[in-house]
Amino acid sequence: MMKRLPIIFFAILLSACVHSNAGQTAAEAVPDYAPEPLIISNEHKRAFRLGTNLLVNHHYRKQKLSAIASDVHLDYLQALDPSHIYFLQSDIDEFKHYGDALLQANKGDLSALLAIYQRYSERANALNRWSLERLSRPFDLGGDSTITYPETKAGKKQPWPADVAVAQAEQEKRIEDQLIRLRISGKSEEKALKLLRGRYTGALRRLNQISMNDVFDIYMNVVSNRFDPHSNYLSPRTNEDFNINMRLSLEGIGAILSLEEDRVTIRELVPGGPAYKSGKLSVKDEIIGIAQGHDGEFVDVTGWRLDKVVDLIRGKKGTLVRLLIDPANAAKGVREITLERDEVKLEEQAAQSTIEEVSEDGITRRIGVIKLPSFYMDFEGAQQEKSDYRSTSRDVERLLKEFRNAKVDGVVVDLRGNGGGSLYEAVKTVGLFIDKGPVVIVSDAKGGVRNESDDDAGTAYDGPLAVLIDRYAASASEIFAAAIQDYGRGLIIGSNSFGKGTVQTMVNLNDFVVNNTPNLGAMKFTISMFHRVNGSSTQFRGVSPDILLPALFSADEVGEQAEEYALPWKSIAAAKIKPAGRISDSTLGTLRQLHETRMLGKPELRRYQEYIDKVLEKNRQRTWPLNLETRKNEHADWKKYQDDYEAAQRKAIPSLNADKKTLKEIEERNAVVDDEDEKESFVPDVALFETLHIFFDYLQLLTPQQNAVADAA
């Protein structure tokens, strides 16, 4: 995704403005933190050699260190200072002689990575201290100056500051922008100043608590990511607590977090968890502050280590945590949400169904919709041979039986937001819709291939089928959608999927050394790639829908194509399959034409397209006025537009049964929320609404004789 307002160690909040002399004593309170001594150990050298050896010899991408050695130090600079705030151009010029640092590190000389980090620490300390001093003086936020945040994509980086004066001038603009954003989000001048002073003080404290292990982690992950974005080094601390730290499903909020340019970002919402059920969080939202209970003080977590953020979010079931969120949808603005910690129960991740009715020209179609948040399996129950253990394929088979009894005319499987899960269950679930045969091909780094197949003859459902996908449908979801498409089994509707078609393994580095060696950590790296049965990989390209719906994010903003060193698409020999059917080009052409006619002709769909276009424009905005009143007016105008849009859509679009479930959940949440700004509003699911109409058209094309009977009746 296109990174918005990139700032390392400083969150991009809806910030504040200051005209008074509030906080004049801030400069006196600048802390005098002494950095921790950084000493390279033999364990670091050993871990580096073992880790890079695994990458070179066993990663799917066959790549020697010498092929990337000349510019890995540039990636390291970028990892330390992704927004080009701290390093000066003179530093970058000086560091050119570190072009062989990677090869030297492989020989045991890690001095280059330490020297570069120490310069970074000096620059960052100085600018953070300057920022605290600047916060002690008043700001004039009534002028006509602006700030432009350049793109952070590869090849589109802004220049490094020419000198300290330029760095400070740009930093002053960033602070003004942060102040404005905090004020727009409802913070008082005093509160905004306090938050920012806390932010920069915390940045100084964390910066000077960095250990050599932390520096080593950064460099090792820079090297790992040059092989692909899903390969990384896990330090001993991270490796020991990996599952809990990364998946907050044990008495937490149920979210998988990642660090993107030093900002804590929602990578995935665990189906059934508090965050998922709240409807208040989305993938790519950034967590910039955390508070405990109803009235705890917010702690700014921009620039924090991921494990430290997790520690603040985790807690006992039934307790409250408040999050300050900078949403992926920039149009929403920074907001505060409250979540009650809970355990994620398997049944809450399970497939759910509704039956929707679509009527046109006197004909009514009953369409069964299965919402599938993930591909799950109760492995413990299966191992214990429990007769009632839960799994995706079992639950979907049960729902299909209910649909048959209800005499639905067709089935839609909704995979939006499904980040994947069990490959076994994805294959088994495809098997419910095809007779038998290969579902996905897996190729390994040595060129070997194997088929993952459905070996059970017969189907649980052989009627009309459609699959709804979006940019966040990934991995196992893409395998399911691709198989349905390649077998000609059903329509694929929505936006292009994520494009994550690789398989990773985890190797503990201590497995290669003798006993009593300190924990060296682990390497996670890519060893295999998924391919559709037609031989084309789902990697990078994802699955392209037959009928395209409007999307909030493009391929270069979210998904594998947005990653700098993603493995490329690859094709191998196709598997032999017996197609279940074929959707003709003429049928697809007719469906697309009918869809486009509706998008242009129906006010609610025109309004939907216009809304998405405006959100995309807002998310891509790079230049912002540093005038508080102007920004307040812009924010008010946008909020009014959003409110008007939502009200118009609620009035125009009949509620689906799926919508009614959502509306009930929203009403139940809002009933216990005191803050009016935190309450959620209901917006009809326009994508599902149009998907049902596309599917209705498909059913009409499939059964003309039945249509004639219906008309006559």
Question: What b/e sequence results for 27-52 when a residue is b if at least 16 CB atoms lie within 10 Å of its CB, and e otherwise?
Answer: eeebeebeeeebebeebbbbbbbbbb
| Contact present, 353 and 369 (Cβ < 8 Å) | yes
Dist CA 66 CA 79 (whole Å): 20
Structure tokens at 350: 């399970």
* Phi then psi dihedrals of residue 624, to 5 deg: -130, 135
Collapsing DSSP states into helix, strand and coil, what is residue 15? strand
| Contact present, 135 and 26 (Cβ < 8 Å) | yes
Residue 562 sits at the vertex; the CA angle it makes with 558 and 565, to the nearest 5 degrees, is: 145
Give me the active site residues, please: 475, 486, 500
Exposed, middle or buried, 698 (CB in 10 Å: 0-12/13-18/19+)? buried
Collapsing DSSP states into helix, strand and coil, what is residue 547? strand
Exposed, middle or buried, 452 (CB in 10 Å: 0-12/13-18/19+)? middle
Q: How far is CA 234 from CA 19, 237, 271, 567, in A?
A: 46, 8, 25, 21
Residue 272 sits at the vertex; the CA angle it makes with 429 and 611, to the nearest 5 degrees, is: 90
Beta-ladder partners of 337: 323
Dist CA 687 CA 281 (whole Å): 19
What single letter denotes the amino acid at residue 251? E
Strands (E), 509-648: 522-531, 547-548, 623-625
499 sits in the region (left: phi over 0; alpha: psi -120 to 50; else beta) called left
Residue 577 sits at the vertex; the CA angle it makes with 576 and 582, to the nearest 5 degrees, is: 135
Nearest to 113 by CA among 80, 146, 151, 141: 80
Question: What b/e sequence results for 525-546 when a residue is b if at least 16 CB atoms lie within 10 Å of its CB, and e otherwise?
Answer: bbbbbbbbbbbbbbbbbbbebb
Structure tokens at 254: 């149920």
Question: What b/e sequence results for 411-426 when a residue is b if at least 16 CB atoms lie within 10 Å of its CB, and e otherwise?
Answer: bbbbbbbbbbbbbbbb
